[in-house]
């Protein structure tokens, strides 16, 4: 088997609650032996699969390539295990490195210490063999090494993504609390929206959900706007293969409408700037409008939105906001399906509608409820307290 066709294991990192969506994306991509784990999905594939995973997956944060696994009972085991790896296969002299660690172990409580010991092992190996050492660059390294230590099991991987994959590259400005792009894409995919219905976000903020929806509808890969990926600096980088993936025809026809609005003129200006930078202005319409006064821009469709919640809203104003959202959905949007994410239990109770579906997602460290409301045509029976 040639190096191009050689299969190996990879790990796609994601947010809790998005593992199933990510596994479905990987299946469509042609990955094999897909297994869902906590905040991650493991899979097998070739170098081409690794490139496609970085370029095409909407709900992955990072794609890791494991290169070593060993048992650790103390700091000497950690250093020795890391030093057994032949780092010259992955790192060229003159290249910079960084080591990031995720630790869940009673043996080590400090992830920075774990990173330092692995870095020492890499540097010492080079120094002993060549009398030279790779430099550390925590901002923009050529090679990112990822260490995952659970109990006494240590896994060392190369991070093929570089910067987190949620950094799509289209955002030129942001509002106070923008939703993570990976979470936004996950919300849309979990709703089942595939570009066949019209799409509305009545509290659009910086426009993330609108842009992610347009990219899904038009078949634009999330990596299209990025300047670089980590694997482009690897010793075995196949530029021709990646060029083929980058230049492939992903375009899909989309005849529907994607509409957003926000009460803040500043937010609308930010959303328009991001939409313009993504080259999607002709596909997305955004206007300044209070949700309470918003009339349906189309007869039926799907609403996916991320209303304000958290420390910035006082309890009374939060309950009033969510009651308004519930009243507007019930009175103005019959025939629609509405999906909403929030960390506020009080707010969600104030919506006054019974959710057809509920699931737990995380917006950063915030545990959120993601809910679907079926707004039946000609009936207000859905307006029951949760």
Tokens found for residue 219: 């078949």
Instruction: Specify the pTM.
Output: 0.94
User: For residue 265, is pLDDT > 80?
Assistant: yes
For residues 228 and 250, what is the distance between their CA atoms, to the nearest angstrom? 19
pLDDT digits (tens, 9 = 90+) for 206-233: 999 999 999 999 999 999 999 999 999 9
The CATH 3.30.2130.30 domain(s) of the chain lie at 8-159
Q: Determine contact, residues 7/45, Cβ cutoff 8 Å.
A: yes
User: For residue 312, is pLDDT > 90?
Assistant: no
Query: Which of the following CATH numbers is that of domain 8-159: 2.40.10.120, 2.60.200.20, 3.40.720.10, 3.30.2130.30?
Result: 3.30.2130.30
Q: What is the pLDDT of residue 386?
A: 47
Give the closest residue to 283 by CA, choosing from 181, 158, 199, 368.
199
Q: Determine contact, residues 175/206, Cβ cutoff 8 Å.
A: yes
Give the CATH H-level superfamily of domain 181-224+249-374.
Vaccinia Virus protein VP39 (3.40.50.150)
For residues 50 and 44, what is the distance between their CA atoms, to the nearest angstrom? 9
The CATH 3.40.50.150 domain(s) of the chain lie at 181-224+249-374
281 CB-side CA count, 13 A: 9
- 233: three-class secondary structure by DSSP: helix
pLDDT digits (tens, 9 = 90+) for 118-172: 999 999 999 999 999 999 999 999 999 999 999 999 999 999 999 999 999 999 9
Q: How many angstroms separate the Cα of 369 from the Cα of each of 83, 188, 207, 309, 336?
A: 44, 14, 21, 12, 20
């Amino acid at each position: 088997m040639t190096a191009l066709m050689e299969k190996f294991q990879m790990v796609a990192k994601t947010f809790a609650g998005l593992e199933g969506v990510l596994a479905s994306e990987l299946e469509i991509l042609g990955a094999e032996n897909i297994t869902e784990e906590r905040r991650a999905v493991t899979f097998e594939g070739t170098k081409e699969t690794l490139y496609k995973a970085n370029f095409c997956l909407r709900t992955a944060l990072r794609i890791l390539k494991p290169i070593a696994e060993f048992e650790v009972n103390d700091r000497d085991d950690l250093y020795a295990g890391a030093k057994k790896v032949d780092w010259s296969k992955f790192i060229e002299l003159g290249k910079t490195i960084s080591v990031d660690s995720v630790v869940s172990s009673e043996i080590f409580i400090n992830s920075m210490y774990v990173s330092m010991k692995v870095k020492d092992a890499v540097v010492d190996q080079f120094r002993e063999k060549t009398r030279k050492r790779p430099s550390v660059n925590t901002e923009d390294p050529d090679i990112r090494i990822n260490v995952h230590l659970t109990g006494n099991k240590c896994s060392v991987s190369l991070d093929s993504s570089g910067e987190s994959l949620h950094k799509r590259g289209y955002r030129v400005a942001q509002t106070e609390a923008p939703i993570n792009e990976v979470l936004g894409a996950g919300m849309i995919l979990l709703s089942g929206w595939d570009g066949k219905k019209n799409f509305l976000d009545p509290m659009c903020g910086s426009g993330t959900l609108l842009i992610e929806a347009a990219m899904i509808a038009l078949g634009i890969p999330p990596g299209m706007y990025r300047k670089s990926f980590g694997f482009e600096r690897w010793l075995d980088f196949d530029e021709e293969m990646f060029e083929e993936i980058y230049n492939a025809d992903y375009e899909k026809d989309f005849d529907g409408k994607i509409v957003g609005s926000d009460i803040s003129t500043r937010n609308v200006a930010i959303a328009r700037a991001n939409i313009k930078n993504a080259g999607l202005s002709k596909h997305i319409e955004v206007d300044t409008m209070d949700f309470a006064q918003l009339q349906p821009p189309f007869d039926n469709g799907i609403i996916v939105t991320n209303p304000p919640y958290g420390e910035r809203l006082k309890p009374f104003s939060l309950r009033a906001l969510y009651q308004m959202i519930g009243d507007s959905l019930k009175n103005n949007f019959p025939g629609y399906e509405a999906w909403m994410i929030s960390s506020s239990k009080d707010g969600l109770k104030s919506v006054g509608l019974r959710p057809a579906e509920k699931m737990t997602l995380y917006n950063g460290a915030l545990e959120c409820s993601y809910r679907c409301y079926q707004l039946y045509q000609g009936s207000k029976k859905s307006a029951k307290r949760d």
